[in-house]
Amino acid sequence: MKAAPTSGDSPQGEHELYREVILDHARNPRNFGALENATHTVDGINPLCGDRLTLYVDIDGERLDAVRFDGHGCAISLASASLLTVAVQGRSVEDALELRDNILRLLEQGIDYLGPATPQHSALAALAGVRGFPSRIKCATLIWQALGQALKRRDAGPNPTVTTE
């Protein structure tokens, strides 16, 4: 008996998900490790797999002066977090939130609003490989959800937690 065709993944479909830039950021995550004196700290938890990432942001007025993360996760969640830290460092809060919205639209709906094809944008666009792997989309979105939580909460208080569920 033959199965119904799957979503067109070839045996090499894994390279769609694990593109070289993703593997690079997963093996050597940038800005990894806690940020002392962070103004905002958010824990992101994926209860499905038990992954836990912590995002640290230092906001000076309206600018993200420093962004770091730590924790454990799969290659996709680590690469996504690493790419995030590189992409939003130095941006204004407003810019960072817009990028977050655009990344979530790309990952969840496949709509690319990332704009001109700069090298940074093409690195971020590599995350779109999760589109063919529905069970892995949340791995990529987790840290961006955490960023939104951090930036939308401007007051002090206990660290919030976001989950993928």
Contacts with other proteins by CB under 8 A lie at 1-3, 6, 9-11, 13-14, 17-18, 23, 27, 48-52, 72-76, 133, 135-136, 139
Please name which of 111, 130, 114 lies closest in space to residue 122, comparing C-alpha atoms. Answer: 114
8 A C-beta contact, residue 136 and residue 76:
yes
Complex with other proteins: residue 20 or 36, whichever CB lies closer:
20
Cα end-to-end span (Å), the chain: 36
- Least separation in angstroms between residue 59's CB and other proteins is 30
- Least separation in angstroms between residue 130's CB and other proteins is 10
- Least separation in angstroms between residue 112's CB and other proteins is 23
Please name which of 31, 83, 26, 28 lies closest in space to residue 51, comparing C-alpha atoms. Answer: 26
- Least separation in angstroms between residue 126's CB and other proteins is 15
Phi/psi of residue 71, nearest 5 degrees: 120, -165
- Least separation in angstroms between residue 8's CB and other proteins is 10
Complex with other proteins: residue 107 or 151, whichever CB lies closer:
107
Please name which of 76, 82, 158 lies closest in space to residue 120, comparing C-alpha atoms. Answer: 82
Phi/psi of residue 132, nearest 5 degrees: -85, 0
Distance CA 72, CA 38 (A): 19
Complex with other proteins: residue 2 or 37, whichever CB lies closer:
2
Complex with other proteins: residue 89 or 141, whichever CB lies closer:
141
Complex with other proteins: residue 49 or 97, whichever CB lies closer:
49
- Residues listed for the chain: 165
